[in-house]
Amino acid sequence: MISTDRVEGHARSSAVTGQVKWAPVRSIWTGSLFLVGTVGAVATVSLENVLIFLATTAITIGLGHSIGMHRLLIHRSFSCPRWLEYVLVWLGVLVGMAGPIGMIRIHDLRDWAQRQTDCHDFFAHRRGFWQDAAWQLHGKLDLRHPPRFRLEARVAKDPVYRWMERTWMLQQIPVAVILWLLAGWDAVIWGVALRVTVSLSGHWLIGHFAHRDGHQTWRVEGAAAQGFDLPWAALITFGESWHGNHHAYPGSARLSQRPGELDPGWWVLQALARIGLVRDIVTAATLPHRPGLLRVDPDDRHHCPCLGLFSQD
Ligand SMILES: [Zn+2]
Ligand SMILES: [Zn+2]
195-220 per-position pLDDT tens digit: 999 999 999 999 999 999 888 999 99
> Taking 80 as the threshold, does the pLDDT of residue 5 lie above it?
yes
SS3 content of the chain, % helix, strand, coil (to 5): 55, 10, 40
User: pTM, whole model, 2 decimals?
Assistant: 0.93
251 alpha carbon – ligand 2 mean position (Å): 8
71 alpha carbon, closest ligand: 2
> Taking 80 as the threshold, does the pLDDT of residue 242 lie above it?
yes
Helical (H) or strand (E) element with 19: strand 18-22
The residue with greater pLDDT, 299 or 47, is 47
141 alpha carbon – ligand 2 mean position (Å): 19
Q: Residue 258 burial by CB count (10 A; 0-12/13-18/19+): exposed, middle or buried?
A: middle
135 alpha carbon – ligand 2 mean position (Å): 20
6 alpha carbon, closest ligand: 2
Listed residue (205, 293, 309) closest to 251, CA to CA: 293
In 3-state terms, what secondary structure has residue 259?
A: coil
133 alpha carbon – ligand 1 mean position (Å): 16
In 3-state terms, what secondary structure has residue 8?
A: strand
101: pLDDT confidence band, cut at 50, 70 and 90?
very high
247 alpha carbon, closest ligand: 1
CB of 18 within 8 A of CB of 139?
A: no
Bridge partners (DSSP) of residue 293 are 220
> Taking 90 as the threshold, does the pLDDT of residue 304 lie above it?
no
What is the arithmetic mean of pLDDT over 178-198?
98
Q: With left for phi above 0 and alpha for psi between -120 and 50, is residue 213 left, alpha or beta?
A: beta
299: pLDDT confidence band, cut at 50, 70 and 90?
low
124 alpha carbon – ligand 1 mean position (Å): 8
**pLDDT value, residue 75:** 97
In 3-state terms, what secondary structure has residue 292?
A: coil
115 alpha carbon – ligand 1 mean position (Å): 10
Q: Encode burial over 117-149: b for 16+ CB neighbours within 10 A, e otherwise.
A: eebbebbbbbbeeeebbebbbbbbbebeebbee
**pLDDT value, residue 312:** 38
208 alpha carbon – ligand 2 mean position (Å): 15
Mean pLDDT of all residues belonging to the chain: 94
Listed residue (53, 46, 168, 196) closest to 104, CA to CA: 168
178 alpha carbon – ligand 1 mean position (Å): 35
What is the arithmetic mean of pLDDT over 246-275?
97
125 alpha carbon – ligand 2 mean position (Å): 16
> Taking 70 as the threshold, does the pLDDT of residue 22 lie above it?
yes
107 alpha carbon, closest ligand: 2
Which of 5-19, 60-74, 228-242, 285-299 is predicted with the least confidence, judged by mean pLDDT?
285-299
**pLDDT value, residue 301:** 45
